[in-house]
Amino acid sequence: MPAVELTKAESLKPIPFGTGYKLIGHDFSTNDLVAKVTGASRYAEDFRAEGMLFCRLVLSPMPHARVKRINADKALAMPGVKGILTPSEVPGHANYVNDNGTMIKADRFSELALADEPMYQGEPILAVAAVDELTCAEAIEKIEIEMEPLPFNTDPLDSLRPGSANAREEGNVWVPNPPPSRESQLAAVKWTDEDFAAEREGKLPMGHAPEEWSYGDLDAGFKNAALVLDETFSTEDVSHQCLEPRTTMAFWQNGKLYLYTGTQSTMQTVPAIARWMHMPEDKVVFISEYTGGGFGSKITGALTLVIPALLSKKLNAPVMMRVSREEEHFIGRARPGIRARTKVGFAKDGRITALDMFLVSDAGSYGSNGDGGACGQITSLLYQPPAMRWRNITVATNTLPRSAQSAPGGMQAIAIIEPILSKAARKLGVDQVALRRVNCPEGKAQYGPPGPGGKRAYVTSCYLKQALDEGAKQFNWSARVARPKQSGTKVRGVGVALSCYHGGTTGFDGLIVITPENRVRVYTGIGNLGTEAFVDVHRAAAEILNAPWSAVDIVWGDTSKNLPYSCHSGGSQTIHAMTRAGHAVALECAQRLKEVAAKSLGGQPVDYEVANLRVARKGGGAGMSFAEAAKAAIKLGGIYDGHDVNPAVNMYTKHSVAGHAGEGLVASATDNYPHDGDSFSFLACFAEVETDVETGKYHITDYMGYADVGTVIHPAALGGQVLGRSVLGMAHAIGQKWVIDPQYGITVAERFYTNKPPTILDVPVDMKWNALNIPDPETPVGARGCGEPPVGGGCAAITNALAEALGDNIFQRVPVNADTILTSYEAGRPMQNPFLAHI
Amino acid sequence: MAVIRDVMPAFDLLQPASAVDAQKLLETYGEDAWVMAGGMDSFDWLKDRIKKPQVLVDLSGVDELKGIRTSGDGVEIGAMTTLTEIAKDPTIRKNYGLLAEAVEHVASPQIRNQGTLGGNVSQDARCWYYRGGWPCYRAGGNECFADTPVGRNREHAIFGANRCVAVNPSDSAPALIALDAKFVIQTPKGERVVDAEDYFLGPEVDITRLHILKPGDLLTAIRIPSTWAGANFYFEKVRDRNVWDFPLMNVASAMKVSGGNIEDIRIAVNAVAPRPMRLTAVEAAVRGRPANATTGEMAGKLAVQGAIPLQFNAYKIPLMRNLVKRAIGGVQETTWTS
């Protein structure tokens, strides 16, 4: 692959996309595009099978209850009704062995597909299968279900009050178990009335928190500060709202389960299905060609996929479970809201001297989550406080189960800290960009507390300062700041926010078959969830093989096609992890091609080069086409045609290579490149808002995200990620929410028009993005992921612009709506209870 | 019995081709019939299986209920005319721009293409407890779940609560009241024409309906007299999202100004009460006064007298005050150029 040779100075400047490459950094149409725009793409709901039944779910009407009795006699007697599935028929929690051979013990608190003690309103408690959905519905309405209501709590702070109800009989707070245990542990924790005294002053109470870490001299940091702010801020619970719900179709054939549903990883969903079904992995065939969004909620599909699979086995017929929008609201996962109190010390120039963060994280109804922890880590990385303490309490509530949502914890960290930085800049008289610049991470920036060895973790590279500078230039920051702020009833403000999140993992496999038809066939187990990364990463392999993209076929979405072990598309890891795997397998493939050529034509492999679908002697001379090399590889057998396999690859890849044996030149490899540091991607985000102070209505009038994500692989797709995920962040700022009546523990906003994800008209028409395109030095292609890093910045750039327009005393929580602004702007102080969520 | 949503129940679909037939079918089936215009409200109720009519009378095939006709004294709009057609109609835009602007703010382009004027004024309340199937007063129960110390009532009423605190969500209704529109209804006893403001009901009269239509009644047309053609109009809707959202509040006014003074005015506000509120006291107070910010300020303060906020909707008081102020005194526009 052509390398980009940069001087030290050049390495700190933006590089034009595609410099030095034929494919990388250049736009192209991905292999799935035509199918998507013509409607030919098939999602789970589009599949049909002979004799297929439909099933529908019965959801718990109560936030916490015990199912005492189910009488389905009348339903089962109806014509067309084929059967029901009850909680007792769902396999229980199971230990499992991960692909590293580690035994993971089952978590007794974790969720099952059907519950006999539902922990939230909307939890599935029963499923009914019939010849059609109308019959299912009429049957469900004939089922008698006797339920015993149990104590519940939908508010994490309320759950900590003396005498309040716990979400679970075992307690209300998740406490960490010492490693290596992954089991959850619950305790009953109540704070005292004295702890809650701060609430009267609008400050988050800070009672006992079971999780804590710190580094640096916090006291000295605050003592030496020119300004100390003590701020309370709450983020909202926000559902994933995938456009494709977790619809699933399943049937059994010759002892194998064929299952169709959306996922963020084709290959890694197989072991999850096997574990949930208590069945061998080699009996699972998983088909997922297209997925309508995941955002962390479909990492390995969804637990409810077992329902049609079990019904199909029980009734000996294919079963389709279509999940409705309301059902998706309940089972579709959500980001946990965090209530935070953060004390931050600043030097005169805005440099943070100390940061003390206290979090109350809402765990929802099942299991703990890592959002509170990630919130501390991202704060430590993105703002580089020299001294920091982090405390966290994760509280169980009878609300929807949470899961990772794009930038889990990181989004909340940025939403919580950025308004404090903005306020500090105003109080210190420091420019907002300048204040962020002095706190910006750079190089191999450290983060978090010291590990067991006393060292702090650090990143592979960070050029955020350059992104901030370039972004400020492109956004005309200085000119915008200097413009008039108020005219008529309108006030406007500009905001800037730093943003970051994890940008990649390592250790996955690539698999390429050079076919006798002269094609480069790349197999991938990445889920196709809409980001295009599942195709983009293979540009790296094609670049190394010097092959025209038109000769490359991508095979994905069906495990019967023998796919390699690939990363799941979560944690923004795909571009990083799979360009590494693609790089490795392309080098392996090129080497095998040269070896085949040397064996066929004479000389040594090193005498050959690969280009334009040929492997030929360097400088001209004998050579052979890829097709001829493939045929030769088949004759050679062994390692060349997949009858033997690269011993370094994962066991799933080994099985898949065996499945391709004899098809051509079969190359597989694993990414074992060295990697110093943790991969994170960074952005500087800018926004402008215009608010009408007589109505409280505001518009985002402009937005730009400037990314430091390493090498840009596919500019159009990256732009989609930068702006698309920024919009997810904006959703948190401008209105997406839950509405729950705490007296009954019932959600009342389960439709789009009530929980209000943003529409295309809620964001600027002409949002802009750019990227440095400076390669990450710790990965061979230099690329990192960008799925999650923009989310926090997308939210905080908006809230910072609002605060710049309206002042610091308007809001202490997101989302910020007309009602927030209207009441607080007139009063001159925040009028909404910062802790009260779900309004 | 267990509950399930998102599966439309079975019913007999009746598709009359004339208004007479439609009205007869509604009369025949009475409370067992559900009349459907564009379906934008109906499908919610039906898919949620909260309403299970025996027959559904689909008006989409009744051509005589569609279209905009000029008459000697104004225009007549068929109840089945889509909101998009109204927004684009040259006569409406020229003479009754208030209505064009109001309907352009309804929901989304897709919904306006399907939704009708008759449906928009006849739609049911959007209180999430009521729509969610809770057994509230409006649904025949004996409790209001929104009006409790913790009830989620950010979008509910500050006026006119009477057991129920739901609001009328229509965007076109206040514009039609401001234009002094007349609603034409075919009843079993013959045609009945009512003033726009009298088409709507509060819970003190009937808590189960937002309008006066009874089983067997059919809204066929809305007539807008020429009285207010070309007047000074003002419409503003405040909503959380810029599209596909019901109003947190809207205001519509028609004003005749002579020599800088308000000669006559009609003004209505919606989403503040169970029925669209015509502000007659404000109208009386501002007649003869200058059409300026000072009069607007006075009008705004007068408009909110008597408002009773719930736990989470106190913002509606300054919002209503400011919207009424702007409807009369105008908006102080920005002067910035970049």
Contact A756 B245 (CB under 8 A): yes
Measure A689 CA to nearest chain B CA, in Å. 13
Of A743, A748, A838, the CB nearest to B132: A748
Nearest CA in chain B to A146: B1
Contact A324 B6 (CB under 8 A): yes
Q: What is the mean pLDDT of residues A424-435?
A: 98
Tokens of B130: 């009521």
Query: Is the pLDDT confidence value at A3 over 50?
Result: no
Q: How confident is the model at residue A12 (pLDDT cuts 50, 70, 90)?
A: confident
DSSP category for residue B226:
G
Tokens of B66: 């569609």
The answer on A698 and A729 residing in a single domain is yes
For residues B159 and A196, give the distance between their C-alpha atoms in angstroms, rounded to a whole number: 36
Q: What is the mean pLDDT of residues A398-403?
A: 97
Measure B201 CA to nearest chain A CA, in Å. 25
For residues B48 and B62, give the distance between their C-alpha atoms in angstroms, rounded to a whole number: 27
For residues A488 and A495, give the distance between their C-alpha atoms in angstroms, rounded to a whole number: 21
Using a CB–CB cutoff of 8 Å, tell me whether B334 touches chain A. Answer: yes
Strands A227-234 and A446-447: unpaired
- Please give the mean pLDDT across all residues of chain A: 96
- The residue type at A700: I
CATH number of the domain within which A136 lies: 3.90.1170.50
For residues A802 and A689, give the distance between their C-alpha atoms in angstroms, rounded to a whole number: 6
Phi, psi angle pair for B159, to nearest 5°: -135, 155
For residues A467 and A663, give the distance between their C-alpha atoms in angstroms, rounded to a whole number: 47
The reply to whether CATH 3.30.1540.10 applies to domain B12-62 is: no
For residues A356 and A344, give the distance between their C-alpha atoms in angstroms, rounded to a whole number: 6
What pLDDT was estimated at residue A9? Answer: 53
Tokens of A496: 């800037």
The pLDDT > 90 percentage for chain A reads 93
- Identify whether the C-beta of residue B274 lies closer than 8 Å to the C-beta of residue B166: yes
Strands B218-224 and B74-78: antiparallel
The answer on A316 and A347 residing in a single domain is no
Chain B residues close to A76, C-beta within 8 Å = none
Measure A785 CA to nearest chain B CA, in Å. 31
Residues near A73 by beta carbon (within 8 Å), at least 6 away in sequence: none
Phi, psi angle pair for A283, to nearest 5°: -100, 10
The pLDDT > 70 percentage for chain A reads 98
Show which of A637, A670, A703 is a domain's final residue.
A670
Of B152, B154, B323, the CB nearest to A819: B154
Q: How many CB atoms lie within 10 A of CB A20?
A: 15
Tens digit of each residue's pLDDT (9 = 90 or more) over A672-701: 999 999 999 999 999 999 999 999 999 999
| Full 3-state SS string of A201-257 | HCCCCCCCCCEEEEECCHHHHHHCCCEEEEEEEECCCEECCCCCCCCEEEEEECCEE
The answer on A375 and A279 residing in a single domain is no
Segments forming the whole domain that contains residue A656? 507-670
Cα dihedral A562→A567→A568→A574 (10° resolution): -120
Q: How confident is the model at residue A10 (pLDDT cuts 50, 70, 90)?
A: low
Residue of A743, A819, A835 to mutate, interface with B, max B Cβ within 10 Å: A819
Of A752, A759, A839, the CB nearest to B242: A759
Chain A residues close to B152, C-beta within 8 Å = 739-741, 748, 838-839
Q: Per the domain annotation, does A74 fall within a domain?
A: yes
Closest C-alpha among A301, A247, A233 to residue A52 = A247
Closest C-alpha among B319, B314, B297 to residue B250 = B319
What pLDDT was estimated at residue A100? Answer: 61
Contact B243 A327 (CB under 8 A): no
Contact B315 A749 (CB under 8 A): no
The pLDDT > 90 percentage for chain B reads 97
Using a CB–CB cutoff of 8 Å, tell me whether B297 touches chain A. Answer: no
What pLDDT was estimated at residue A96? Answer: 72
Show which of A646, A670, A694 is a domain's final residue.
A670
Q: How confident is the model at residue A819 (pLDDT cuts 50, 70, 90)?
A: very high
CATH number of the domain within which A699 lies: 3.30.365.10
For residues B323 and B271, give the distance between their C-alpha atoms in angstroms, rounded to a whole number: 12
For residues B34 and A342, give the distance between their C-alpha atoms in angstroms, rounded to a whole number: 56
Nearest CA in chain A to B250: A695
Contact B240 A143 (CB under 8 A): no
What is the torsional sign of CA B47, B49, B50, B56?
positive
Tens digit of each residue's pLDDT (9 = 90 or more) over A603-622: 999 999 999 999 999 998 89
Nearest CA in chain A to B148: A743
For residues A838 and A749, give the distance between their C-alpha atoms in angstroms, rounded to a whole number: 9
Tell me the ipTM for this assembly. 0.97
Using a CB–CB cutoff of 8 Å, tell me whether B248 touches chain A. Answer: yes
Q: Per the domain annotation, does A24 fall within a domain?
A: no
The answer on A785 and A768 residing in a single domain is yes
The answer on A341 and A315 residing in a single domain is no
The answer on A627 and A536 residing in a single domain is yes
Counted across chains A and B, CB pairs separated by less than 8 A come out at 136
Give kind and range of the element (H or E) at residue B70: strand B68-71
Residue of A236, A737, A753 to mutate, interface with B, max B Cβ within 10 Å: A753
Query: Is the pLDDT confidence value at A1 over 60?
Result: no
Contact A753 B245 (CB under 8 A): yes
Give kind and range of the element (H or E) at residue B265: strand B261-270
The answer on A349 and A298 residing in a single domain is no
Query: Is the pLDDT confidence value at A122 over 70?
Result: yes
Query: Is the pLDDT confidence value at A834 over 70?
Result: yes
The answer on A512 and A469 residing in a single domain is no
For residues B185 and B79, give the distance between their C-alpha atoms in angstroms, rounded to a whole number: 10
Query: Is the pLDDT confidence value at A2 over 60?
Result: no
Considering just the CA atoms, what is the radius of gyration of chain A in Å?
A: 28
For the full predicted model, state whether its pTM sits above 0.95. yes
Tens digit of each residue's pLDDT (9 = 90 or more) over A208-249: 999 999 999 999 999 999 999 999 999 999 999 999 999 999
Residue of B45, B49, B129, B241 to mutate, interface with A, max A Cβ within 10 Å: B241
Of B4, B108, B315, the CB nearest to A137: B4
DSSP category for residue A40:
-
For residues B136 and B13, give the distance between their C-alpha atoms in angstroms, rounded to a whole number: 29
**DSSP reduced 3-state for B280:** helix
Q: Give residue for tokens 């290579």.
A: A657
Chain A residues close to B46, C-beta within 8 Å = none
From chain B residues 45-104, the ones with a CB under 8 A of any chain A CB are 49
Q: What is the mean pLDDT of residues A653-666?
A: 98
The answer on A429 and A572 residing in a single domain is no
Show which of A286, A303, A331 is a domain's final residue.
A331
For residues B222 and B75, give the distance between their C-alpha atoms in angstroms, rounded to a whole number: 8
Domain count, chain A: 3
Q: What is the mean pLDDT of residues A27-36?
A: 95
Q: Per the domain annotation, does A489 fall within a domain?
A: yes
Closest C-alpha among A258, A302, A319 to residue A129 = A319
Q: How confident is the model at residue A637 (pLDDT cuts 50, 70, 90)?
A: very high
Chain center to CA of B83: 13
Of B1, B108, B323, the CB nearest to A143: B1
Q: Per the domain annotation, does A100 fall within a domain?
A: yes
Measure B305 CA to nearest chain A CA, in Å. 17
Q: What is the mean pLDDT of residues A69-91?
A: 98
Q: How confident is the model at residue B63 (pLDDT cuts 50, 70, 90)?
A: very high
Q: What is the mean pLDDT of residues B102-122?
A: 98
For residues A459 and B104, give the distance between their C-alpha atoms in angstroms, rounded to a whole number: 51
Contact A487 B1 (CB under 8 A): no
- The residue type at A290: Y
Q: Per the domain annotation, does A33 fall within a domain?
A: no
Q: What is the mean pLDDT of residues B248-272?
A: 98
For residues A310-340, one letter each, b for 16 or more C-beta atoms within 10 angstroms of the residue's C-beta and e for the rest, the string is: bbbbebebbbbbbbbbbbbbbbbbbbbbbbb
The answer on A663 and A539 residing in a single domain is yes
Domain residue spans of chain B: 12-62
Nearest CA in chain A to B322: A694
